Amino acid sequence: MTFAVIQMVSQPDIAANLAAARGLLEQAAEAGARLVVLPENFASLGRRDAAAIGRSEALGEGPILPALKQAARDLNLWIVAGTLPLPPFDAPEARPRACSLLLADSGEVVARYDKLHLFDVDVSDNRARYRESDDYAHGQTIVVADTPVGRLGLTVCYDLRFPELYSRLREQGAELISAPSAFTEVTGAAHWEVLIRARAIETQCYVLAAAQGGEHPGPRHTWGQAAIVDPWGRLLAEQAKGPAVLCAARDAEEQALIRARMPVLAHRRLFTQGAPRPAADVE
């Protein structure tokens, strides 16, 4: 029940990024991983033509999805495809979403999560202003899917700041949560480790935090620190900067014991007009 997260330093060259991702996926497969998480914008970080990329992929004319499907089949891997700009498959002319796909080892897309929370934030770095909503539409739905290593909840980057999403994923049976990211150096230094460990502790899930970690055109600097966190909040693996493959194994028995000894889901209470009541009483 081994899984892996990948750290990259993606550039605007899609072909070069896909080649780099393929090499890292091969390393993960050689290490025995069954599920691998790529980072946010692994194929197109820094590009300003998200709509064109997404339309091409939705029409079956782009290079990204075929490369991912081929890698899944060749390497016998389940892949969380970080994010790529992708409109709804049935509406290729619509605005793209920051989409995280789950591919089975057959190459089939078995789940799709469109990023709920877009990074429209002012940051004290070289870029200063980030507005994801200029390029992307918001997602609408939370997603949990079965994989060979456990039931997986899908999230992306800025979602880490919204714990109610993670609580909902746990309610829907998540045992692992993917969080492909591209944190800035400023926000990463301040909050990255705190956030990924907190989300793991409160949900009692493994958090698979793939990352971008290095310098990109702009210049833009991403924090890195790709990591795997266990349900007790322990960092099982991490990488400061640069390309990397981090592997860990899920201990299902220990996870079940943690949840049994501290049954936070059963203890959870919601508040309506100041009066607490058990979450089970709320539809």
Residue ranges of the chain with per-residue pLDDT less than 50: 282-283
Residues annotated catalytic, as ranges = 40, 115, 157
CATH code of the domain in which 172 resides: 3.60.110.10
- How many domains does one find in the chain? 1
pLDDT at residue 203, rounded to an integer: 98
| Residue 263 belongs to a domain | no
User: Which 3 state secondary structure label does DSSP give 196?
Assistant: helix
- Report the distance separating Cα 182 and Cα 199, nearest Å: 17
Q: Whose CA is closest to 224, among 208, 209, 240, 244?
A: 240
Task: Answer yes or no: is 93 within a domain.
Answer: yes
Characterize 220-245 residue by residue with b for buried, 16 or more Cβ atoms within 10 angstroms of its Cβ, and e for exposed: bbbbbbbbbbbbeeebeebbebebbb
The reported pLDDT for the residue numbered 280 is 57
User: Biggest alpha carbon distance in the chain?
Assistant: 56
Note the pLDDT tens digit of each residue in 216-229: 998 899 999 999 99
**pLDDT tens, residue by residue, 246-258:** 999 999 999 999 9
Residue 267 lies in a domain: no
Residue 75 lies in a domain: yes
Number of neighbouring beta carbons within 10 Å of residue 125: 16
Which residue reads 């009066």 in tokens? 275
3-state helix, strand, coil in the chain (%, to 5): 30, 30, 40
Matching residue, tokens 């909840």: 153
**Separation in Å, CA 85 to CA 4, 10, 98, 145:** 23, 15, 5, 21
**In whole angstroms, what is the distance from residue 49 CA to residue 117 CA?**
20
pLDDT of residue 200: 98
Structural domain boundaries enclosing 53: 2-250
Helix axes 50-58, 64-75, angle to 10 degrees: 60
Amino acid at position 44, single letter: S
82 inside domain: yes
**Whole-number pLDDT of residue 1:** 80
Q: What is the per-residue pLDDT for 273?
A: 72
Per-residue pLDDT at 277: 65
Q: What is the pTM of this model?
A: 0.95
In a domain, 126, yes or no: yes
Q: How far apart are CA 222 and CA 271, in angstroms?
A: 38
Helix (H) or strand (E) segment spanning residue 103: strand 97-103
Cβ–Cβ under 8 Å, residues 31 and 244: no
Assigned domain for 194 exists: yes
Cα distances from 12 to residues 45, 68, 199, 245, in angstroms, run: 6, 18, 31, 21
Inside any domain, residue 208: yes
Strands 235-239 and 226-229: antiparallel
